[in-house]
Structure formats: C-alpha cells, structure tokens
Amino acid sequence: MSNKTTTTDTSLFTKENYIWMGIGAAIIALGMFLMSGGKNQDPNVFDYNVVYSTTRITVAPILILLGFVVEIYAIFKKSKSAA
C-alpha cells in the first residue's frame, strides 16, 4: 500500500512580488535617509534652513508614502498564472 500525494506549489508570493517588495523597501529606505538629512557645522547654532529644508519636510515623506504604496501593490498583485 503506497499513498502517493501530490503537492502543488501554493506559495503566497511569486518572484515578481518579491521584486516589487524590494523596490518598495528601497524607496522607503531612501526616504528615511533623506529625512535624516545633514547636520549643522556648529552644534551650538540652530540653522533653520538645515532642519526645515524642503528635502526633509516634503520630498522624504512623499518618498516614504510612495514606498508604502509600492509595498501594498506588491502584496496585492496577483501572478499572471493565477489570473
């Protein structure tokens, strides 16, 4: 008596999903890096332009949100063979 069972590959994500997840993670990491910004030359002096620069206040949060959108897309993307 031999019981033969067939297994099917039912992985949740495909290679393409993981590629999109990697792209999203890279965009989020870039946004975090840009948000960290630079530093003042003199730590005793507050430089408004360095702390509240356009890159830190506008560009970096937009990149982080874009990265999260890409991550959501990567999670919900269906493979072409499953469609």
What pLDDT is attached to residue 50?
A: 81
What pLDDT is recorded for position 52?
86
Report residues of the chain scoring pLDDT below 70: 1-3, 5-9, 81-83
DSSP 4: -
pLDDT of residue 81: 67
DSSP H helices, 37-59, are 48-51, 54
